[in-house]
Structures are given as structure tokens and as C-alpha cells.
Structure 1
Amino acid sequence: MLPSNITSTHPATFLLVGIPGLEHLHVWISIPFCFAYTLALLGNCTLIFIIRADAALHEPMYLFLAMLATIDLVLSSTTLPQMLAIFWFRDREISFFACLAQMFFLHSFSIMESAVLLAMAFDRYVAICKPLYYTTVLTRSLITKIGMAAVARAVTLMTPLPFLLRHFHYCRGPVIAHCYCEHVAVVRLVCGDTSFNNIYGIAVAMFIVVLDLLFVILSYVFILQAVLQLASQESRYKAFGTCVSHISAILSTYTPVVISSVMHRVARHAAPHIHILLAIFYLLFPPMINPIIYGVKTKQIRDYMLSLFQRKNM
């Protein structure tokens, strides 16, 4: 909380530095970022189009995949256009309330992505461990409720942060040493006691990552037990093969988080641009790679894509 003698004041706009120490390389750095963002847009839009167009893909697994693709689209679009504007046009200004909105959407959709990955683990658990109950358990109604719960959890956890940041006194200038409005970067400009913000931010991150990952791992323990009990080796490969795409998506999402967390502790005194590049990698890599993973590994999606190309060549 703020001391009583400090008035709540905030700048009308913030200035985003970009990547501190690498300003002279912004144009070159923007090339791989733009390429990755383009892949993310094309890949996720294609996934959503295919799942919507093909009635055979209106199953729980693919509906969750459509949710994941939508979240990845919003997550990457929340930050990348702003970053490219900084790199290409030096357009560094962002209004105070736009900054808070960007921060809210960024963190909210990250939490939603974790929830959907957990829901996809539950989907694989039911499909492999309780196959006879798959259609009766994972109904459209339950899938809708899971999606609404993911949104409600993210919004509930993230709503306090913008309201708290509105009531601080920003005496350390309007310059944010980052490419986008990340919570910790904004809090660094505040004068006063920000211990609640810091503790709350860490607690939410730990709660989401630890709890969701724990349930994902638990799901795969049961899945592994069920797969090992199958009679033939071919059945085991086929059952576990349906999980490969999801496991790859889990690794693509959580590995950058773990690497970034370890780097913050092990290389605490490293140049700021290293931590910022890792943060950007975390935002860009999953939206870019997930459509490729599911496009390559999922036969139904791959077959639909091939049929589209064949129609065009006829």
C-alpha cells in the first residue's frame, strides 16, 4: 500500500525503450520477430479455420485446440505489433491506460493458455483411461464450462493489478526498460511500498504454473499406467501417439518459463537485454510452434490441408 502522504499521480504516457543496450540492432532483431509473428498468425488462423470448417473435427480434442489457437493469436497480437512499431518507427509512446490494458491482456491470456493445456491433458486422460465414457463425459456443455472457467480464473486473478497500479505515485519517470508493459517493469517506476504487488505477482505465477503442471503430470501418470496395461505394443504406440502433440505443446509453453525463471535467479546480474529476449521468446515461441506441431502430428488436420491443396491444383 502507499504511504498516506503520497498523492496518486501517474504519467499520461509511458515510453517503451525496446531492448535496452541493443537499440542499434532493433531493425535486425525485428526480422526474426516479424517472421515468427507472421507464422503464428498464419498457423493459428489456419487451425481455427480447419476446425471450424470440418464437421469431423468438432470433437473435444479439436475444440480445445481451437481455444488454444485463439489464445495464442491474442497473446502474440497483444505485444508484437507494439514491439515492431518500436523497432521500425521508434514509436515508443503508449498511454498509461493502454499500458495497463496491455499488461492485463498479456497476463490474463497467459493464465488462460495454461488452463487450456490442463483441459487438454484431462481430455487425453478420459480418451485413454475412460474411453467408453469419452462422449458422455466431455460434452459440449462441459467444454463450454471449462472455457468459461479458464476465462473467469484469469480475469479474477489479474483484475486487481491494474487497479492497484492506478493508485501509485510514479516518481521514477515514464521510461519503461522493456518492449511492452510487463507488470514488474511498470512497478519499478513506482515510489512507495509495492511489496503487495510483488508478492501477489509471484504468488499468482507460482500458483498457476505449479498447480496446473501438477495436474498435467498427474494426468499423464494415469495415462502411462493405462497405456502399459494394453495388450499389444501397437495399441500402446497408437494410444500414446495421440498425446505426442499435447506433450510437445506443454514443453513449448513451459520450457521457456522455466528457463526464464532460472536465468532470473542464476544470472541475476546479467545484461537486461538477456532477460527481455527470454521474455519475448516465451511470448512468441508457443504461438509460432503449436500450429506446426498439431499440423504435422495430427492426421485429420494434415489430411484436410492436403485436400485443400489438391482442390486448388485441380
Structure 2
Amino acid sequence: MESLIANPNVSHYHTHFLLVGFSGITEHRGLLFIPFLLVYLHVLLSNSVLIYRILVDTTLQSPMYHLISLLFLVNLSCTTTFMPKFLLGLAFELNQITLDDCLVQMWFIYVIVTFESTVILLMALDRYVAICKPLRYHHIMTNRFLTQLTLASLARSVLLMTPIVYLDSTVKFCKSYVILNFVCENMGLLKLACGDISRVQAIGLVVRMVITVVDGCLLLLSYLTILHTTMFLLKQSRNKALNTCSSHIIVALMIYASSVLSALIYRLETSVSVDIQNLTSAIYFLLPATINPVIYGVRVKEIWISLQKMFGYKEGVNQNAHNMGHNNN
């Protein structure tokens, strides 16, 4: 591995690369196959089951649950863009990837991750309207309006991320053909570039900062407004409103915290080992997809009751329905 990095072939520009995540434990990378396989299977099964329940259960047909199912779909899509390739690399050392395939993977990952941030914003908007404008909720959050917002969010993600990947496609790579990560991402690929890449790096940084700052500020403003509104509600209504938002807030904090952690680790690359960088990437890409189904499946009582129905726990369903009120939609 060290010889590949120290003595790259510079007689031509590279069009094929090796994705080598966790290179510090090269001889034992195969041991990572089982835990990562189990994580991926959990992501596939848990997110798919919850999407299915939201689609078929007539009690889960409000905009809030549609947005939650959209978040689960994002989880599935993001992990599936890179996990099969990563698992094959761990099990059979099939680590080679072409530049075109690498750019395609990067584009899908970046579009999906950006779309995820917007979905979190839409969930905050839904709760804002439900709590701050309850009498107008069903007039505002119609299926048509929700579809329009979803398509606009997807278009925003494509428009923001496509220039970054396009600029990467114009760069020549000659320093090495070893990408010390298990996914193709902008900063890792640019480390292998020849010539001046400051413009590409600057544009990538600006876009990422705009997404993080703008989305983060809008999210914070939404929940501060909701919190201010709940201060004037009766205790029971206030508790219901806050309980409804708590799962969304936990998920949002987890996603943004893992994003900031991953960005900081990469900026400190000279003092942080490559394996730590890979670990933070794994947390960033896999933690939300792994934890989101647990948070929503357990904390959102209507989804929990629906899961109990699915597995035939009728007695538990009746007890839950008796002891708990309904969330505001």
C-alpha cells in the first residue's frame, strides 16, 4: 500500500483508482466485512419495513408521515450508492473504480445528502404549520403542495451539486491512483489532482457552507418559532407539540453534528489519521440511516402502534391507544 502512494505512475493521467478505506489495517480489513454487512442489512430491512407501513397503513397518511417515509427512502438510496461496492472491496478486494464511475457515485451521494438536508427542513415546515397555524394546516400542507416542495428540493440539490462534480471531471489526476476512503468524495479525489485546484476547492467549500449555514439557520428559526408558540399553549397541548417535534430535532442534530464533525476532521487531515477520517465518513453516511428508523419507529407512537399491528401485538396496540393521545398532524 505504501509503495502505491509513494511511487505513483506519473507518466500519464489516471482514469482508474483504488478505493481503499481503512488502509491502516490493510491486513485485517476483511474483519470489517461482517459488521458493515450487518449495518447495511439493518438499514435495508428497517427503512424498507417502515416505508411499507407508512404506505399501507391508512392512519399514517398525513404529510408528516409522508415526509418521514421520504427520509427513509433517502437513507436507503444514500447507503446503496456505495455500500455494495465497499462490501465487495472488503470481502474480495474488488477495490478498483473508474474515474467516470467515481464521479457518478459522488454525484449521487452529494445530491442525496443535500436532498436529505432539505427534507429535514420540510419536516420542520410541516411541524411549524401544524403547531403555529393549526387551523390552516390542511389547507396549506396539501398533497399537491408537498409534491411541489419535494420536486423543488430535489431540483435544488441537483443544481447545487452538479457544478462541483462537473469541475472535478475537468481535473487531471497524476499524484496517485489510491483513494484513501471507501467512497468517492470531492476532497479525497482532489488530493490526487495535478496543477492548481484552488478554484474547484473554493467552489466546493462555498456550496457546502451555503447549504449548512442556510439550512441550519432556517431549521433553527423554525423550531425557535415553534418553541415560542408552545409557551402560550395549555400544558397538555404543549407537551403533545414538543413530543411531536422531539424526534425531528434529534434526527436533525444527529445529521448536522455528523456533517460538521466529518468536515472538521478533513480540515485537520495533517494531524488526524486516515482511518479516523474514514471512521467519521462512516458515521456521517451510515449513522442517520441506521438510527433514524429506531428513533421514528419507537418515539413516534402512531408508527410504533402500526408496527405492533404488523407483527400481531393487538393487546399492546390497545394498551398504547388507551394510554397515549394522538400527535398533532
Into which bin does the TM-score normalised by the smaller protein fall?
Answer: over 0.9
* Rounded Cα–Cα distance in structure 1 between residues aligned with 2:183 and 2:269: 22
Count of aligned pairs between the two proteins: 304
The answer for the alignment partner of 1:73 in structure 2 is 76
How do 1:107-118 and structure 2 match up within 5 A? 107-118=110-121
Question: Is residue 252–residue 289 contact of structure 1 (8 Å, CA) maintained in 2?
Answer: no
- Aligned partner letter, 1:251: L
How do 1:196-235 and structure 2 match up within 5 A? 196-231=199-234, 233-235=235-237
Q: Does 1:64 align with 2:64?
A: no
| Cα displacement string for residues 54-92 of structure 1 (whole angstroms, at most 9, x for unaligned residues) | 122121101111111111101111111111111111001
* Rounded Cα–Cα distance in structure 2 between residues aligned with 1:152 and 1:108: 9
The answer for the alignment partner of 1:103 in structure 2 is 106
The answer for the alignment partner of 1:239 in structure 2 is 241
The answer for the alignment partner of 1:279 in structure 2 is 281
Question: Is residue 14–residue 174 contact of structure 2 (8 Å, CA) maintained in 1?
Answer: no
Identify which range, 263-272 or 168-177, moves more after superposition.
263-272
Aligned partner (choices 169, 173, 180) of residue 172 of structure 2: 169
Evaluate the alpha carbon distance shift between residue 264 and residue 14 of structure 1 in structure 2; reply closer, same or farther with a 3 A threshold.
closer
- Aligned partner letter, 1:106: I
Deviation, structure 1 residue 162: 2.8
Identify which range, 255-264 or 181-190, moves more after superposition.
255-264
The answer for the alignment partner of 2:86 in structure 1 is 83
- Aligned partner letter, 1:174: Y
Q: Structure 1 unaligned segments of length 5 or more: list them.
A: 1-8
What secondary structure, in the 3-state scheme, does the structure 2 residue paired with 1:15 have?
Answer: strand
- Aligned partner letter, 1:270: V
* Rounded Cα–Cα distance in structure 2 between residues aligned with 1:242 and 1:78: 31
Deviation, structure 1 residue 234: 2.2
Question: Is residue 187–residue 194 contact of structure 1 (8 Å, CA) maintained in 2?
Answer: yes
RMSD in angstroms over aligned alpha carbons?
A: 1.8
The answer for the alignment partner of 1:13 in structure 2 is 16
What secondary structure, in the 3-state scheme, does the structure 2 residue paired with 1:277 have?
Answer: helix
Q: Structure 2 unaligned segments of length 5 or more: list them.
A: 1-11, 315-329
Deviation, structure 1 residue 127: 0.7
How do 1:294-313 and structure 2 match up within 5 A? 294-310=296-312
Question: Is residue 259–residue 284 contact of structure 2 (8 Å, CA) maintained in 1?
Answer: yes
* Rounded Cα–Cα distance in structure 2 between residues aligned with 1:221 and 1:258: 21
- Aligned partner letter, 1:209: T
Evaluate the alpha carbon distance shift between residue 48 and residue 186 of structure 1 in structure 2; reply closer, same or farther with a 3 A threshold.
same
* Rounded Cα–Cα distance in structure 1 between residues aligned with 2:92 and 2:24: 18
Question: Is residue 23–residue 180 contact of structure 2 (8 Å, CA) maintained in 1?
Answer: yes
Evaluate the alpha carbon distance shift between residue 269 and residue 110 of structure 1 in structure 2; reply closer, same or farther with a 3 A threshold.
same
* Rounded Cα–Cα distance in structure 1 between residues aligned with 2:243 and 2:270: 40
Evaluate the alpha carbon distance shift between residue 168 and residue 258 of structure 1 in structure 2; reply closer, same or farther with a 3 A threshold.
closer
* Rounded Cα–Cα distance in structure 1 between residues aligned with 2:33 and 2:252: 27
The answer for the alignment partner of 1:3 in structure 2 is none
Q: Does 1:290 align with 2:292?
A: yes
Evaluate the alpha carbon distance shift between residue 260 and residue 12 of structure 1 in structure 2; reply closer, same or farther with a 3 A threshold.
closer
Evaluate the alpha carbon distance shift between residue 291 and residue 29 of structure 1 in structure 2; reply closer, same or farther with a 3 A threshold.
same
Deviation, structure 1 residue 211: 0.6
Deviation, structure 1 residue 167: 2.3
Deviation, structure 1 residue 267: 6.7
Moved over 6 A (4+): none
Question: Is residue 21–residue 275 contact of structure 2 (8 Å, CA) maintained in 1?
Answer: no
- Aligned partner letter, 1:299: K
Aligned partner (choices 138, 143, 154) of residue 141 of structure 2: 138
Task: Give TM-score scaled by structure 2 length.
Answer: 0.88
* Rounded Cα–Cα distance in structure 1 between residues aligned with 2:199 and 2:269: 25
Higher relative contact order (CA 8 A, sep 6+): 1
Identify which range, 125-134 or 169-178, moves more after superposition.
169-178
Question: Is residue 47–residue 291 contact of structure 1 (8 Å, CA) maintained in 2?
Answer: yes
The answer for the alignment partner of 2:54 in structure 1 is 51
The answer for the alignment partner of 1:6 in structure 2 is none
Deviation, structure 1 residue 43: 1.3
The answer for the alignment partner of 1:250 in structure 2 is 252
Identify which range, 24-33 or 105-114, moves more after superposition.
24-33
Evaluate the alpha carbon distance shift between residue 161 and residue 12 of structure 1 in structure 2; reply closer, same or farther with a 3 A threshold.
same
* Rounded Cα–Cα distance in structure 1 between residues aligned with 2:170 and 2:204: 17
* Rounded Cα–Cα distance in structure 1 between residues aligned with 2:262 and 2:178: 23
